[in-house]
A and B are shown apart, each in its own frame.
Chain A
């Protein structure tokens, strides 16, 4: 840290000495932050590796700028509600933490500032911001709404296949399944024995059910939630094929899979109880750490398997955006923090500390790919991802509740795949009709 502080001081002196150079060259975080020293920022964080990494980086930012970042850690399930209530009540939050499915909601309610407000201000915009360096899919899906960018990608996920290469090897496989069909028909029977299971698909009744379980089986099979007219597409042969596949695949999953959230699923792989999982890239550090995983060198990572429609891996993640309710100083300070924590310069450190940056440049170094096994699979996945993996409009909170309830009932066999999909479709269309999508009051935003 001392070394970093000295480096910052040297940079400050150096930039002061180059005062005659152009304004872009003279820009430094320390100078830009001077008017806002002493400003305190409020932001919500999650209890996940990407946030732990950011928290470790905060002292450097605070020392360089005099801006204090107060973070409150909440469970994912509470993060949306906490922020909605804060924004409706005109509360304290200065920075919004936005899951990709919340962006439409936050943008349409006017709770977040477009980044142009800050990038157009030469005093605040880092000349090295380099928006083109972010993976385009990620910046558009996590931070963009209706052609406007509001947030910068911060905690970035793609669905990956994590697997126990030793278990696969013992069963006679030298590589993971290429397709979902192989996983079910070839790997499933061979790896499900002696109290161990081939696969675990986290399916707990919360966002995990709708995002990680239900949606994951729609897209690779050519299905989707909605068609071009915003009507339910869940009864299409492709969607039905995907959902039926999920039902068939359950025979190779642990009993009670509908009670598995991320932690149970990651733990099942980490403890050697299942051979393969499809989980967010963010859990790499949990699976790689000897403190939380028995896998050791057996841990291997691959892109998610392909379906008839291609790979279409799960896409999820968060951006950080400046809240409109903040005052001017807080807005400026908030932008400086967001810009700094997602910067090219910090991407390597963020990665090293357990985060997953969305900077293409961070993954260009081949040595990094050797150190972090998930990098090649992640980069490949972000090329094949679907921004609308889950609809990102303001009605998603209502729709996800419907999917969670009926998706779980399907898995439990309380309703058939067809009945469940039909019910979800009808209820989903009722929500969209109420919102005004079918009578032209609202544009079909995606």
Chain B
């Protein structure tokens, strides 16, 4: 039996959420799109004018923008597979029966890196990786290794940001995949382990199909997070040395908040948004099909 719900009731339930979303999400987005079509610099308001797609053309032909995109893509290409590999390993270990107390303790400790404010994570890195006084170099000194210039060398700084991102987000991946593993029916797992002693076979043919939705969620969230990665590198290296860690979000902040070129920064942001949407759709199309 079906009950017909009146349109007014539906509107009453959905209306507040839609209105709130429109107010805090859609309206600022439309404003950003509008401003991206203007020359709009906060320190030169008298010169504000409609410029059509000029800002987009300038962004798309700007080597600095593509270099920042390249760095962001490199970060993503290295950090996310490592996070997935480590996260899956941790999840599989925690999924095994036994040692309940220790597993609970581990699950709790996994939350800590994620719960730490991004900016604080960057500041911690700046202090801990200090060449002269940082705890990392002190520990390296104990085993006879010379102090490494983590923050002042372009390559080392980039590697340090990647390692820090892996440290902060591997636990998130582990917890999501652990939740995914809990959706595997125990009887199927038991049957599979009776059939084969190979953990890899069980993972590949039994557990992995159930993990696909979790992996897609991880990919979408980590892609969005990487594209908007700002707080940690900003407080850790401020995009430097040189432009070694100037990821796309750091660049946009610089253009918008330090050069005050809001029109250009808005165009960069809209391009980044479009890219995020395309990638998200791509993931869903490529990976999500088989369990739909």
Q: Hey, which bits of chain A sit against chain B, CB under 8 A?
A: 80-81, 84-85, 88, 105, 109, 204-206, 254-260, 268, 271, 273, 394, 397-398, 401, 405, 408-409, 412, 414, 435
Contacts and interface: CB of A to CB of B under 8 A. Distances in A.
Contacts of B259: 397-398, 401
Given A88-B45, A397-B43, A401-B258, A257 B152 contact: yes
B242 A256 contact: no
Contacts of A255: 131, 149, 152-153
Interface in B143-161: 149, 151-154, 157
A85 B242 contact: no
Nearest to A102: B43
A268 B131 CA distance: 12
A405 B152 contact: no
A391 to B, nearest CB: 14
Contact of B240 (A80, A109, A204, A268): A204
Contacts of B131: 254-256
B76 interface: no
Contacts of B151: 256, 259
Given A84-B42, A394-B43, A408 B152 contact: no
B242 A405 contact: yes
Contacts of B258: 80-81, 397, 401
B254 A401 contact: yes
A252 B237 CA distance: 23
A81 B240 CA distance: 20
A258 B45 contact: no
Contacts, number: 74
Contact of B260 (A84, A258, A260): A84
Given A84-B260, A254-B131, A398-B259, 8 more contacts: A81-B258, A84-B43, A105-B43, A205-B241, A254-B132, A255-B152, A256-B152, A259-B157
Contact of A205 (B132, B238, B260): B238
B201 interface: no
Interface of B: 42-45, 131-132, 149, 151-154, 157, 237-243, 254, 257-261
Contact of B238 (A81, A105, A204): A204
The secondary structure that dominates the B interface is loop
B2 to A, nearest CB: 52
Contact of B243 (A206, A271, A405): A405
A414 B242 contact: yes
Nearest to B129: A259
28 contacts: A80-B258, A81-B258, A81-B260, A84-B42, A84-B260, A88-B42, A88-B45, A109-B43, A109-B45, A204-B238, A204-B240, A205-B238, A205-B240, A205-B242, A254-B132, A255-B149, A255-B152, A255-B153, A256-B241, A258-B242, A259-B149, A259-B151, A394-B44, A397-B258, A398-B259, A409-B242, A409-B243, A412-B242
B241 A408 contact: yes
Nearest to A82: B257
Contacts of B257: 81
Contacts of B239: 205
Residue picked from B151, B242, B257, B258, most chain A C-beta under 10 Å: B242
B223 to A, nearest CB: 27
Nearest to A257: B152
A417 B94 CA distance: 55
A358 B239 CA distance: 35
Given A81-B257, A84-B260, A258 B42 contact: no
A262 to B, nearest CB: 13
B145 to A, nearest CB: 15
B149 A397 contact: no
